[in-house]
Amino acid sequence: MKNFTRSQEIYRRALARIPGGVNSPVRAFKSVGMDPLVMARGAGAHLWDADGNEYVDYVLSWGPLILGHAHPEVVEAATKALAAGSSFGASTEREMLLAEMIHDALPSVEKVRLVSSGTEATMSALRLARAATGRSLVVKFEGCYHGHVDALLVKAGSGVATLGIPGTPGIPPEVAGQTLALPFNDADALRACFDAHGDRIACVIVEPVVGNMGCVPPLPGYLQLMRDLTARHGALLIFDEVMTGFRLAYGGAQKLFGIKPDLTTLGKIIGGGLPVGAYGGAAELMSQIAPEGPVYQAGTLSGNPAAVAAGLATLGILKRDPAIYDRLEARAAKLCEGMAAALPVTVNRVGSMFTFFFQRGSAITGWDSAARSDTTAFGRYYRGMIEGGVFLPPSQYEAAFLSAAHTDADVEFTVDAARHAAGE
C-alpha cells in the first residue's frame, strides 16, 4: 500500500485556510473516496506526489501538457521570459507573435485577444456575441462546461456533475433564464430551439468534442447542422476549443471536422501549462472589442510574458514536428484498446482525448447516456489505479489525455495496472 502521510498533512492544514482544502473542486477527490493527492513535481509523462510516490500521468494539468511535464524547450523559454521581467502591464512582441501563430493554425481567427484563463475567454466571447447581434439568448449543451461564467453554469458538466451540486446557486434567475440548455447530439432539439427562439438567439457555444462529461464526440453532421442553423438565423457559432485547440490537430477541432465557427475560445496548450486564454474570430467582428470598438474587456495580466513564451515554444514544437499527432493517435489507440479489454467499460476517444465510461452496451453520445455510468465502480477502479501508479482524472466525467512524452512502456504499464485494479 502506498503511503500518503505527507499529502494528508498538507491537506489537513489547507482545510483551515482554503475552501475544501483545494483551489479547484475536482482536486478534492470526493467522488473517488480519497483525500486529495498533493503533487510535488513532474517530468515527461510522470508525476511524483509529496510522499515520493510516482505515477504515469494522464491528467496532464487537464490537457495543456501535450509535450509532457517540464519539456526542456518550454522551461527554457518561460525561464528566459521571467528573467527579463514577470509582467509589465504593457505590450510585448511575443503577444503579437502568438497571435500570428494562432491565426496561422486557425484561419477563422483573423484577430485574437489574449486573456488569462479559459473562463475569461468564454465570458468575453459571450459579451461580444450579444453586442454584435443585439440579442440576449445563449444556447449551450447539457454536460458542457465553459468555465464558471454565470450564464454558462446552467446544466454544466465537469466538476459540477462530479460533485452532484446544482449549477446555479448565486446566479440570479434572470441571468440563468437567458441560457437555453439542450441535449448534446440531439439534432431535433436543436432545430426545435431555433424554430422557437431563432430571432432572439445571440449565439450557440459548444465544445466541438466534449471533454467535460467525459470525452463525447459529435455525431456525423451535428456540427454542420449547428453551423447552418446559426448562419440562417443570424446567430454566432462559438467553438470552445480551450481543451481541443491544438490537442486534436494543429488547427484544432475546427480543422478536424471542417467547420468554420464565428468565434473560437482557446487556452490550455497555447500557454504551455501556464495560465492563459484567448478568444478570436473574423477581423470585422473582433474590431468591436475596445479600444477599436465599444465592447469593453481588459486584464492587467493578459498576455503574461512567461505564459506567452511557454505557449510559443509549445506551438513551435508542434508545428515543426506534425508527426507528433500521428504518434499520439497510434499510442492513444493502443492504450484504449488495452483498457477496453481489461475493464468493463465503454471507451470514447478522439485523438489523444479519451474516457473510460463504466458501463457497457450503449453508445455515450450525451449527458443522459454518460450519467448512466457506474460511479461506484469507477471509484474502486480509480483507487486501484492510484495504488498501481497511474494518475487519471478523479472523476468519471472528465476526459483524460496522452502526451508526446508517453512511451509504449507507459501504455503497457497502465494496461497492466488496470488488470490488477479489475481484480485479474
Q: How far apart are CA 286 and CA 53, in angstroms?
A: 47
Catalytic residues: 145, 240, 268
Q: How far apart are CA 162 and CA 375, in angstroms?
A: 9
What pLDDT, on the 0 to 100 scale, is given for residue 162?
47
Contact call for residues 206 and 240 (beta carbons, < 8 A): yes
Contact call for residues 36 and 7 (beta carbons, < 8 A): yes
Q: How far apart are CA 356 and CA 335, in angstroms?
A: 11
Neighbours of 90 (CB within 10 A): 6
Contact call for residues 202 and 236 (beta carbons, < 8 A): yes
For the entire predicted model, the pTM comes to: 0.95
Q: How far apart are CA 154 and CA 139, in angstroms?
A: 10
Which whole-number Å values give the CA distances from 17 to 11, 12, 36, in the listed order?
10, 10, 15
DSSP-assigned states of every residue in 255-300: HHHT---SEEEEEGGGGTTSS-EEEEE-HHHHTTBTTTSSB----T
What pLDDT, on the 0 to 100 scale, is given for residue 156?
56
For each of the domains in the chain, give its residue range(s) and CATH number, in order of start.
5-70+322-421 (3.90.1150.10), 74-320 (3.40.640.10)
Question: Three-state SS for 421?
Answer: helix
What pLDDT, on the 0 to 100 scale, is given for residue 165?
47
Sign of torsion over alpha carbons 342, 343, 348, 354: negative
Q: pLDDT tens digits for the chain (424 residues)?
A: 999 999 999 999 999 999 999 999 989 999 999 999 999 999 999 999 999 999 999 999 999 999 999 999 999 999 999 999 999 999 999 999 999 999 999 999 999 999 999 999 999 999 999 999 999 999 999 999 999 888 887 765 555 554 444 456 777 888 888 999 999 999 999 999 999 999 999 999 999 999 999 999 999 999 999 999 999 999 999 999 999 999 999 999 999 999 999 999 999 999 999 999 999 999 999 999 999 999 999 999 999 999 999 999 999 999 999 999 999 999 999 999 999 999 999 999 999 999 999 999 889 999 999 999 999 999 999 999 999 999 999 999 999 999 999 999 999 999 999 999 988 5
What pLDDT, on the 0 to 100 scale, is given for residue 87?
96
